[in-house]
Structures are given as structure tokens and as C-alpha cells.
Amino acid sequence: MTNDFANLPITGGCLCKAVRYSVSGEPIVTRQCWCRLCQYVGAGSSTVNVAFETKHVTMTGEVRKFESVADSGNTLLRGFCPACGTPVTSEAVIRPHLVFIRAGTLDDPSIVAPVMNIWTKQAPQWVLLDPDLPMVTGQPPPAA
Ligand SMILES: [Zn+2]
Ligand SMILES: [Zn+2]
């Protein structure tokens, strides 16, 4: 079942379980990002990112933030567990009302599915993109 949120809260956390979160509201959108920075975070592949309203997300444990300027020009904070290194969050400084959670950290990653591929112009040449999903070659419009 994809994109079915009958069961709230949505829970998840990092590999070592030092970081845990609970989300009391439904996701806004799930997008698969192929930007060059995401290839570092995604160990060579894309990242799958689920947008939530920040006010719905309760995080426990230390999430260390790495700040950098993305190709979009936005300053992003990429949150990860300092103990196990799992990427957990991404936040644009200009949009503090949103937090993107890395889909791999969901307790049940199957509850969401990407609805679009973004930054496809930076994808590695071997990538097979789902032709049924919208593709944005660069930065998409804000999630909310
Ligand atoms: Zn951890
Ligand atoms: Zn990206």
C-alpha cells in the first residue's frame, strides 16, 4: 500500500535507534532527488524525501546538522545521526515550516512512494527513471 496514511503517527528513526521520531500529520509530498549532493547522502543513488509540516514532527535523540548551499541556491541543513551516520532529515533554511524526512528511516518505508523525480539532469547515466512519474530536471516548486 502506498501513500495511505490511515495509521498515524508515522514513526521511524536511524539505524542505531539513537534518533527516533514520531509524526502526527500526513506527508505533504514524497519526491526522489537526484541532485549531486543527494548522491553523497544516498551512497551513489538518489534520496527519497518525505515532506512534513515541522510542527507535526517530534524528534528524540541528537540529530547533527550539516549546512551547505544546494544548487538551488538554498542553504540546506542535512540532519544525520552522529552515532551511526544515517541521514534522517533535510531542511531548507528559508522554509522552516517544512522538514523532509529520508524515507529509508521510516519504520515502514512502503507507506510512501515518490510522485516525482527531481534534479534529473544530475542523475548518473545508469539511472532508469520511472517514465510514469513527472520529471523535473532541476529545482521543483516548493512542497508547501
Ligand atoms: Zn543512529
Ligand atoms: Zn537532492
3-state secondary structure 32-56: EECCHHHHHHCCCCCEEEEEEEHHH
Domain range enclosing 73: 10-122
Measured in Å, residue 99 CA sits from the centre of ligand 1 at 18
Q: How far away, in angstroms, is 138 Cα from ligand 1 center? A: 31
Query: What distance in angstroms lies between residue 53's CA and the mean position of ligand 2's atoms?
Result: 19
Minimum-distance ligand to the CA of 19? 1
Question: How many whole angstroms from 12 Cα to the centroid of ligand 1?
Answer: 11
Percent of the chain with pLDDT over 70: 96
68 phi and psi angles, rounded to 5 deg = -155, 165
CA gap 66, 131 in Å, rounded: 33
Could you tell me the pTM of the whole model?
0.93
Assigned domain for 56 exists: yes
CA of 83 to the centre of ligand 1 (A): 5
User: How far apart are the C-alpha atoms of 134 and 120, rounded to whole Å?
Assistant: 10
**What's the 55 CA to ligand 1 centre distance in angstroms?**
23
1 assigned to some structural domain: no
Residue 144, in any domain of the structure: no
In a domain, 72, yes or no: yes
Residue 3 lies in a domain: no
Looking at the 3D structure of the chain, how many domains does it have? Answer: 1
Q: Is residue 139 one of the residues assigned to a domain?
A: no
Tell me, yes or no, whether 61 lies in a domain.
Answer: yes
Q: pLDDT tens digits for 20-78?
A: 999 999 999 999 999 999 999 999 999 999 999 999 999 999 999 999 998 888 899 99
Q: What is the CATH number of the domain that holds 61?
A: 2.170.150.70
Q: Left (φ > 0), alpha (ψ -120 to 50) or beta: where does 125 sit?
A: alpha
Which ligand approaches the C-alpha of residue 62 most closely?
1
